[in-house]
Amino acid sequence: MTDEDALDFAIVVYREDECWDAEPLPVALTSDLHGLIHALRQQPSESGTIGLTAVGDDFFVALRVLGERVDVFLSDIAASWHYPLAQQVLDYLDVPVPDEDELDEILPGEEDVLPVGDLSIFVDLGLDEMELAILSADVTLPPEDVLSSIAARLGFSEPFERAIDSVYG
């Protein structure tokens, strides 16, 4: 996929009768965290409803709603400089938007990313914090590929890929 082919998408993943399913959400939700959370709350699930959102080739957000609890993970804090969804995630997490000097002190290389949020979001489903951090740090992979890897590790690769196919037509 080239940069011109990159699309924003949001997918809801849920589990019913011990089977995973996934459906695309309206693309407008890729810039509306509260709208995403609301949409996820509308879909009941046995193990929490999952939202996976990619914004072009730049970053992704993973959410998990389980009852009143909402866990949120942002793949790259620097995305908050340019994208409303990333800014909203930082606001939700009560994390200030860093300036470039602050990030330069934390991250040694230009290609480095700094995830923020709940790294343990999928631990109970089999994806530990270290693996999520490693996947998020791979800047050679577009967000869609990282989310596909996460879906495969969590056991809902087929429904996720069907939902992605419906997004891309």
Q: What pLDDT score does 35 carry?
A: 97
SS3 156: coil
Cβ-count burial 115-132 (b if 16+ within 10 Å, e if not): bbbbbebbeebebeeebb
pLDDT at 2: 37
Does some domain include residue 168? Answer: no
Any domain includes 167:
no
* Residue 104 counted as domain residue: no
Model confidence, pTM:
0.90
| Structural domain harbouring 63 | 3-97+110-162
Write out residues in the chain with pLDDT < 50, as ranges.
Answer: 1-5
Q: Give the pLDDT score at 109.
A: 56
User: Total structural domains in the chain?
Assistant: 1
Task: State the pLDDT at residue 34.
Answer: 97
In a domain, 122, yes or no: yes
- Is residue 169 one of the residues assigned to a domain? no
